[in-house]
Amino acid sequence: MSNTENTFRIEKDSMGEIRVPQEAYYGAQTQRAVQNFPISRLRFSRGFVRAIGMIKRTAAQVNVQLGLLDEKIAGAIQRAAQEVIDGRWDEQFVIDIFQTGSGTSTNMNANEVIAKRATEFLGGARGSKLVHPNDHVNIGQSSNDVIPTAIHVAGVEAMATHLLPALTKLQRALLDKAAMFDRVIKIGRTHLQDATPVRVGQEFGGYARQVELGIKRVKQASESLAELALGGTAVGTGINTQPEFPGLVIQALSDAMRLELREALNHFEAQGAQDAVVEASGALKTVAVSLMKIANDIRWLASGPRCGLGELALPEVQPGSSIMPGKVNPVIAESVIQVAAQVIGNDLTITLGGQWGFFELNTMMPVMAHNLLESIEILANASANFADQCIAGLQVNEERCRAMVEQSQSMCTALAPEIGYDRAAAIAKEAFKTGKTVREVAREQKVLSEERLAKVLDPWQMTERGIAAKQK
């Protein structure tokens, strides 16, 4: 026997014999999938593998309660599934994301790894079926309900433990800056042109509210994902599963993961469609759009430092140029913008995937799972990093802000209710033509008394609701 043959063992499935790497914990069906889908280097994420391990562990626990599984075998399955949950066998999950649209190959990958590890615990050989992947590990389950359940469980957990805390951190950082900068008045801008004054704190308060609403949207999406397909088995009817099985497994999952999970009200909807994943991705896309706006605003407000807007000063985290000494770039903001673009692209794939529900099954679940969980992960990482590396260290250039407010033609807006729109517009044009301020032109033209002019052109008044010219 050659050395090459020594590195493989022969396994059998319903299609016949196949060579499997000797040290592999997976079996024949996984090996066929490895050979069938040599597409990319993308594999299911840690969170997804953890979720499917949780499902298999709780299923074994419940199947003992229901009298469907021997206690010794169930104990070995639970022990093996716990190792999957803990990440010990992540390298054994070898199947490409671009595989069968139901994710059957990955469900069998999990069943085989757990069965073979459980077999070892019971004293059997790794290549044997002392613990069977279908007859023992997969009791009461189908890939068609396990895979959507794993997507939902992984999504809910990642949102709760990773994304929502990161967004909360970012919101608080923005609120801190809103309070810190609230006494600083700057020029507002619409259409990239000068508009009436605002306080820097008001601007940052708007950013904080965007993130707050994003948190609300993610929570709403998580609530939809909390409804699980488990119990529908092949097509939603629940064939080959005990009626009590899904409720008991989902309750056990909820308790173990400290999540509020529940059985789908309609299993035909839960398996024939993946609308909750589309909804969740839409919420993530909205958060991404918010972060892109915030990051881009901060990038522009910090442009310069001398020949741009220069109203904000970013923390200097790394040199910005290989050729221009001393240059510092808005790298953290640019990182956030790129993450946002990736999430928006992921959402398009998920949207198309959601359309691929035909009759009783959606057949784009693996790529939907990958994109959803990637979007959650990178949004969370980018949000926390944005808060720590950029927002926390932001400074405002008060002198620059004050000077630009006074130079702006938009100051004439407060004059309009007092002297009329046309006359105020003429003053604005004269200010632009001569390079003088609106205040200087108005004073020269004696449109108001000095005392009244000072009152009407008070920038602080312009940052609050009301008609500045009517203030007494």
List alpha helices for 243-364, DSSP H: 245-257, 267-272, 275-301, 331-354
Stretch 250-276: mean pLDDT, rounded?
A: 98
User: Does 375 map to a domain?
Assistant: yes
Q: What is the CATH number of the domain that holds 111?
A: 1.10.275.10
* DSSP summary character for residue 44: -
Are 227 and 372 in a shared domain? yes
For the segment 203-240, what is each residue's pLDDT rounded down to a tens digit? 999 999 999 999 999 999 999 999 999 999 999 999 99
CA distance 399 to 435: 19
Q: What is the CATH number of the domain that holds 186?
A: 1.20.200.10
Contact criterion met (CB below 8 Å) for 274 and 357: yes
Are 150 and 131 in a shared domain? no
Q: Measure the CA dihedral 337/341/344/348, to 10°.
A: 180
Are 306 and 164 in a shared domain? yes
Q: What is the CATH number of the domain that holds 458?
A: 1.10.40.30
Instruction: Specify the pLDDT at position 468.
Output: 61
Instruction: Specify the pLDDT at position 471.
Output: 60
User: Does 403 map to a domain?
Assistant: no
CA distance 163 to 124: 42
Among 108, 111, 101, 91, which residue's Cα sits nearest to residue 44?
91
For the segment 340-372, what is each residue's pLDDT rounded down to a tens digit? 999 999 999 999 999 999 999 999 999 999 999
Among 113, 148, 118, which residue's Cα sits nearest to residue 23?
113
Are 307 and 326 in a shared domain? yes
Domain end (from 373, 398, 423): 398
Structurally, the chain folds into a number of domains equal to: 3
User: Does 126 map to a domain?
Assistant: yes
Relative orientation angle of helices 143-158 and 104-121, to the nearest 10 degrees:
90
Instruction: Specify the pLDDT at position 2.
Output: 47
Our CA angle for 31, 33, 36, nearest 5°, is: 115
Q: Quote the pTM value.
A: 0.95
- For 205-221, b/e burial (b = at least 16 CB within 10 A) is bebbebbbebbebbeeb
Are 323 and 251 in a shared domain? yes
Instruction: List residues with catalytic annotation.
Output: 191, 321
User: Does 58 map to a domain?
Assistant: yes
Stretch 303-318: mean pLDDT, rounded?
A: 93
CA distance 420 to 447: 11
For the segment 51-81, what is each residue's pLDDT rounded down to a tens digit? 999 999 999 999 999 999 999 999 999 999 9
Our CA angle for 231, 92, 114, nearest 5°, is: 45
CA distance 338 to 364: 25
User: Does 364 map to a domain?
Assistant: yes
Contact criterion met (CB below 8 Å) for 234 and 36: no
Q: Largest Cα–Cα distance of the chain, in whole Å?
A: 106
Instruction: Specify the pLDDT at position 470.
Output: 64
Are 235 and 384 in a shared domain? yes
3-class SS at 237?
coil
For the cut 70, the answer to whether the pLDDT of residue 1 exceeds it is no
Are 366 and 422 in a shared domain? no
Confidence of residue 326 (pLDDT cuts 50, 70, 90): confident
Structure tokens at 377: 């992960």
For the cut 70, the answer to whether the pLDDT of residue 268 exceeds it is yes
Structural domain boundaries, residue 170: 145-398
Instruction: Specify the pLDDT at position 320.
Output: 84
Residues with Cβ < 8 Å from 392, sequence gap 6 or more?
173, 176, 315
- For residue 16, count CB atoms less than 10 angstroms from its CB and return exposed for 0-12, middle for 13-18, buried for 19 or more: exposed
Domain end (from 139, 162, 197): 139
For the segment 162-209, what is each residue's pLDDT rounded down to a tens digit? 999 999 999 999 999 999 999 999 999 999 999 999 999 999 999 999
